[in-house]
Structure 1
Amino acid sequence: MGFKNLFLQTEPSRRRYGIAVFVGFIAGILSAFVKWGAEVPLPPRTITDGRAEFNPPYLFLRDYLGIDPTSTVYTFSEHIINPVMVTHIIFSLVFAIGYCIVAERFPKVKMWQGVMAGIIVTVIVHGITIPLLGLSPALSMLPFDEYVSEIVGHIFWFWVIEMIRRDLRNRITHEPDAEVPLDSPYR
């Protein structure tokens, strides 16, 4: 498969960017719930000195946007909900829409049904960006449990984004993905 094959592009006339944005919006919302669900059996934060660490979205709101997430809680079904979870939906929307747009042009991003994208995002976001912003320690400082949680959560997250992307794109366009020839028996 050579390195240059990673950047092969689809034929421009086959790209459906508007549909990619629409599908990415739906995939972003639904996959945010999948990511949260993965964090139930595999919590991403460890307990240090008897208390849980703050998560990066909480710190991002507090330190970069000046929003105190603890002062903006709401109640649903008698549960106190911290709206920091809204940042997870926003991040999920951004990544899902971005992924769906990129998939229209560079089909290799879909490698392993989106699993490779999930691994790459884990490394770039949790391994590089979040530590650089001071929102978490460097990867070398994190416990193994956090690696497992983030990698498994991101793999499921992007796998679901890809399943939704492919199904909805193909249903809406009545065509296979842009890299598949229209006369292919593998539609």
Structure 2
Amino acid sequence: MKGFFALTEPKRRRYGVALFVGIIAGIMSAFVKWGAEVPLPPRTFSGGRDEFNPPFLFLRDYLGIDPTHTVYQFSEHIINPVHITHIIFSLVFAVGYCLVAEVFPKVKLWQGALAGIIATVAVHWISFPLLGLSPSLANIPFDEYLSELVGHIFWFWAIEMIRRDLRNRITHEPDAEVPLNSPYR
């Protein structure tokens, strides 16, 4: 198995485990992503632009759901369920990552950091501006896209740590690309 786009052996893939682990990793890593936004807030609230986050705008503009009308209270705090959207996005990306890792092991490069970089570029730097959910990179301060980049690297690193640990514990095997007789099990 050589090359960047090398595939694992089909008989070594564990899609059911990947789906299960992806759900767990998605929920847990959503909290990692939120936590990364505390020291590195993703928006500067400058320039007079719409200051809602992209998940809020996606719900409002593309799905017709106004998250401001569906708040709930927990521990005397008013919670806007737009945060649930972060968990949903995290679930989708974590499950996708775990499934892809079963087939294309190089997605795990740098313990998932490469996937975090790719997600940042593809989603925040390309897709969101094209969908009108955020300004283009040329129109936002450097610290905003730096925050997203660092947050996504931590997020995917957490997904990968959870993925690898749980997959290996559940299957009692190394990852699909590692030979079963390898001393690196």
Q: TM-score range by the shorter chain?
A: over 0.9
Q: How does 1:84-103 map to 2 (within 5 A)?
A: 84-103=82-101
* Residues 75-97 of structure 1, C-alpha deviations (whole Å, 9 max, x = no match): 11111111000110000000000
Deviation at 1:26, TM superposition (A): 0.1
Residue 155 of structure 1 is matched in structure 2 by 153
Normalised by the length of structure 2, the TM-score is 0.96
What letter corresponds to residue 138 of structure 1 in structure 2? Answer: S
Tell me what 1:170 maps to. 168
Q: Tell me the matched-pair count.
A: 184
Q: CA deviation at 1:178?
A: 0.3
Q: Which runs of 5+ in 2 are unaligned?
A: none
Identity %: 80
1:124 to 122, 125, 132: 122
Residue identity in the other structure for 1:38: A
For residue 132 of structure 1, what is the amino acid of its counterpart?
L
Deviation at 1:48, TM superposition (A): 2.2
Structure 1: distance between partners of 2:162 and 2:116: 15
Gaps of 5+ in 1: none
Paired residues for 1:61-100 under 5 Å: 61-100=59-98
Cα drift, residue 147 of structure 1? 1.4
Cα-Cα RMSD: 1.3
Q: What SS does structure 1 have at the residue aligned with 2:78? A: strand
CA distance in 2, matches of 1:31, 1:107: 20
TM-score of the aligned structures, taking structure 1 as reference length: 0.95
